[in-house]
Structure 1
C-alpha cells in the first residue's frame, strides 16, 4: 500500500509541475529518472539502514557538540536570566546560530567550503543535466543561505537570462542554510533534517527541470564565483558573528509576529465559524498530506502544520508540530521532512530583495515569478516527504 501511495504522490507532484511548465515538449525525462532513482537510494540509506543511522548520528553528534560549545558563550552572556531547568527558545535554539555562523566563516576563510561547493557542484551538473552555475548555486545555498548565495555570483547576475534565474532562485528556496540546521535538530529528529536536505537537493533540480526546461550551451556554462573582499581573519570573524546574530534576531522577530498573528486569526475564526484558521487550512492540504503517505485519519492535522509552514515559516510549523503528540511516528517523520525548507511566502520577498540589491532589473524579474517560485519549492517539499514516506 505504501508503494502505491508513493507512486500516486510522485505522479501528482510531477503532474502539478507539468501544469505550469513553460515548455512541456522539451522536458528531459532521462535526468528526471536518474534523480528519482538517486532519491530512492539515498532515502533508503539515510532512513532505513545501519550505515545511514551511523551517518546521521555522526552529523547529529557534530551539531550537538557545536551547540554545547555555543552554550558556553550563551551562559557567559545570559547566565542567570533563565530559571533553573528552563530552556528559553531564543537562548537555546536561536542564539547558537551565532557560533555556527562564525564557524562557517572560518571554513570559508581557509577555503575549505569553496572547494567542497565547487567540486560537489561539478559532480551534480553531470547528474542533473543542468549547468555548472545551477549546480554550484544549489550547493552554495545550503552553505551560505538563500540570500547570501547571490552575492557569490554577483558578477554574473546581470547576464543571467530569466529561465536560468528561476532555477537559481528555486534551489535557494528549496534548501536550508547550514547555519540554522543545528536549530532544526533541537526541534525535530536529526535524521529527518539530514534526509530532507539531501532529498531536496535533487528534488529542486527535478521540479525546476519540469517547470522550466532548457538546455545550457557550453559557451554559456561558465561559473565565475565572486571572491570575497580580502579581509583580515578577525574582520571576517566579526562580520560572520554579526551576520549570525542578525539571523537569530530576524527569526525571533518573525516567530513573535507570526505566532501572535496566527493566534489572533485562529481566535477570530473560532468566534465566527467555530473552527480555527489552521484547521480550515488543514482540510485544504489534507489531500497532499495523504499522497505523501500520511493516513487519512491524520491528514487534516498534518495538512494544518504544512499550511502553517507555507503561510508563516518552518520554525513556526516545527513548534506547531510539537502540539500534536497524538500523531504517529511515521506521520511526524513525513511532516518533518516536508518542513525542512525555506518554501514560504516570506522567502519570496527575501530572495527578490537580495537579488534586487545586486541588480534592480533582475530583482523585479524574480518578484514577478515569486508565486511560481513558491509553488515549485512547495512541490519539492511534497516530493521529498513522499520519498521519505516509503522508508518510514
Structure 2
C-alpha cells in the first residue's frame, strides 16, 4: 500500500509543479529521475542502515557537544535568570546559535568552508544539469544561511535573468541554515533533521527543474564568488558573534509574535466554529499529509502542524509538534519532522526579497513579484522530501 501512496505522492507533487511551470517543453526528465533515485538511496542509507545510524549518531553527538559548549557561555551570562530545574527556550535553544555562528565564521576565515561548498556544488552541478552558480548557491544557503548567501554572489546578482534568480531564491527557501540546525535537534530527532537537509538539497533542484526549466550556456556558466572584506581574526569573531545573536533575537521575537497570534486566532476560531484554527487548517492539509504517507487517522493533526509551519515558521510548528508526538506513529513523526525542516513559510518571502533588495533594488523587486510562486515551489520541495521518507519508513 505504501508503494502506491508513494507513486500517488510523486504524481501529485510533479503534477502541481508542472501546472506552475513557465516552460513545460524545456523540462529535462533524465536529471529529475536520477535525482529522485539519489534521494531514495540517501534516505534509505541514512534511516535504514547501520552505517547511516553511525553517521547520524556521530553528527548528532557533535552538535550535542557544540550545544554543551554553548551552554557554558549562556550559563555564565544568564545562569541566575533561570529557575532551578527549568530550561527557558530562549537560553537553551536560541542562544547556542551564537556559538555555532562563530564556528561557521572561523571555517569561513580559514577558507575551508568555501572550498567545501564549491566542491559539493561542482558535484551537484554534474548531477542536476544546472549551472555552477545555482549549485554553489544551494550548498552555501544550507551552510551560511538564506540571507547571507546572497552577499557571496552579489557581483552576479545584477546580471542574472529572472529564471536563474528564481532558482537561487528557491534554494535559499528550501534549505535551513547550519547555524540553527542544533536548535532543531533539541525539538525533533536529529536523524530527521540531517535527512531533511540532504533530501531538500536535491528536492530543490527537482522542483525547480519542473517549475522553472532553462538552459545555461557555457558563457553564462561561471562562478564569481564575492570574497568577504579582509578582517583580522578578532574582527571576524566579533562580527559572527553579533550576527548569531541577531538571529537568536529575531527568531525569539518572531516566536513571541506568532505564538501569541496563533493562540488568539485559535481562541477566536474555536468560539465561532467550535474547533481550533490549526484543526481547521488540518482538514485542508490532510490530503497532502496522506499522499506523503501519513496514516489516514493521523492526517488531520499532521496537516495542522504542516499548515502551522507554512503560516508561521518552522520553530512554532516544531514546538507544537514536540508537545503531541506521543499521539503519532513513528512513521508520521518521521514524515512530518522532515517536512518541517525548511524555511518554506510566508515570512521567508520578505526575508529573501529584503536580502536581495539590500544588494540590488531592481532584483529585490523581481523577487517580491514571484514571492508566492517561490513559496509554492519550496513547499513542494518539503512535500517531496516527506514523500520520500514515507516510502523508506
Which residue number corresponds to residue 35 of structure 1? 35
Which residue number corresponds to residue 345 of structure 1? 346
SS class of match (2:343): coil
Say if 2:219 is the partner of 1:219: yes
Which residue number corresponds to residue 22 of structure 2? 22
Uncovered stretches (5+) of structure 1, i.e. residues with no partner: none
Which residue number corresponds to residue 196 of structure 1? 196
SS class of match (1:323): helix
Could you tell me how far apart the structure 1 residues matched to 2:67 and 2:55 are?
A: 18
Say if 2:343 is the partner of 1:314: no
SS class of match (2:56): helix
| TM-score, normalised relative to structure 2 | 0.99
| TM-score, normalised relative to structure 1 | 0.99
Say if 2:130 is the partner of 1:139: no
How far apart are 1:323 and its partner, in Å?
A: 2.7
Could you tell me how far apart the structure 1 residues matched to 2:322 and 2:182 are?
A: 17
Say if 2:382 is the partner of 1:381: yes
The C-alpha deviation readout for 1:286-327, integer Å capped at 9, x for no partner, is 000000000010000000000000000000000010232211
The C-alpha deviation readout for 1:46-100, integer Å capped at 9, x for no partner, is 0110000000001001000000000110111011211222111000000000000
Uncovered stretches (5+) of structure 2, i.e. residues with no partner: none
Which residue number corresponds to residue 155 of structure 1? 155
2:175–2:342 contact (8 Å) kept in structure 1: yes
2:171–2:201 contact (8 Å) kept in structure 1: yes
How far apart are 1:272 and its partner, in Å?
A: 1.2
Which residue number corresponds to residue 57 of structure 2? 57
How far apart are 1:174 and its partner, in Å?
A: 0.2
Which residue number corresponds to residue 89 of structure 2? 89
SS class of match (1:56): helix
Superposed counterparts of 1:1-392, under 5 Å: 1-324=1-324, 325-392=326-393
The C-alpha deviation readout for 1:153-186, integer Å capped at 9, x for no partner, is 0111000100000000000000000000000000
* RMSD (Å), alpha carbons: 0.5
Q: Which moved more, 1:81-90 or 1:102-111?
A: 81-90
Could you tell me how far apart the structure 2 residues matched to 1:195 and 1:7 are?
A: 20
Could you tell me how far apart the structure 2 residues matched to 1:245 and 1:167 are?
A: 29
